[in-house]
Chains A and B, each alone.
Chain A
């Protein structure tokens, strides 16, 4: 059974930093692109970042470029999101998601339960 378990969320002041983790199990982690997707309170879904199987390619939504860094450790079956210079608008539930490639498209076939990040003074 595929499982994705996020951790590391919490309350942080504006300008602060936080590191999210996602522990994966039930599949060959090193064979998949992985992503972070976030959802602000009462709002819709927003893709944040993704990373290739070997970590050699990384992509970000414009609003987090230069502030967030996605990484992975295939030996530990873990995905990470280092978030720096946090802003109030980064407040959201952050989901770890597995990326599936199908018919020249990309989608998210499994999601974790999410971890809440609150940026507030």
Chain B
């Protein structure tokens, strides 16, 4: 089955840039989606199809995908960005939705 690997944690100072990676075999050939989950809340879609943002999501959230790594970038990080972030792909070979292992973003 397809596996997506994320770093367990990323720490960033306010105003700086956070980069969260999502590794998978030839992930660049797939469409990657990203979710933000704050403690005790449901996940929220923040980026879809590698780099598109749903309405209401700040431009500070952006994404890229190439080769074996997809990246979610959060610019000008704010305290409110502290959350767990998950990448996700649709694996058509197994008809499965695959989530990454999740990354906890801590704002210092």
C-alpha spacing A108/B88, complex, angstroms: 9
Interface of A is mostly: strand
Residues from chain A with a CB closer than 8 A to the CB of B41 are 113
Is B89 close to A, CB under 8 A? yes
Number of interface residues of A (CB under 8 A): 24
Pairwise interchain contact A44-B99, C-beta atoms closer than 8 A: yes
Among residues of A, the one whose C-beta sits closest to the C-beta of B4 is A44
Pairwise interchain contact A111-B43, C-beta atoms closer than 8 A: yes
Is A106 close to B, CB under 8 A? yes
Pair count A-B, CB < 8 A: 63
Pairwise interchain contact B49-A102, C-beta atoms closer than 8 A: yes
C-alpha spacing A102/B44, complex, angstroms: 17
Is A27 close to B, CB under 8 A? no
C-alpha spacing A59/B90, complex, angstroms: 13
Pairwise interchain contact B86-A113, C-beta atoms closer than 8 A: no
B-binding residues in A (CB < 8 A) = 35, 37, 44-47, 50, 59, 61, 95, 100, 102-114
26 A-B residue pairings within 8 Å (CB atoms): A37-B97, A44-B99, A44-B101, A44-B102, A46-B99, A50-B97, A61-B96, A95-B43, A100-B48, A102-B49, A103-B31, A104-B92, A105-B30, A105-B33, A105-B49, A106-B97, A107-B48, A107-B88, A108-B33, A108-B45, A108-B97, A109-B54, A111-B42, A111-B44, A112-B42, A113-B41
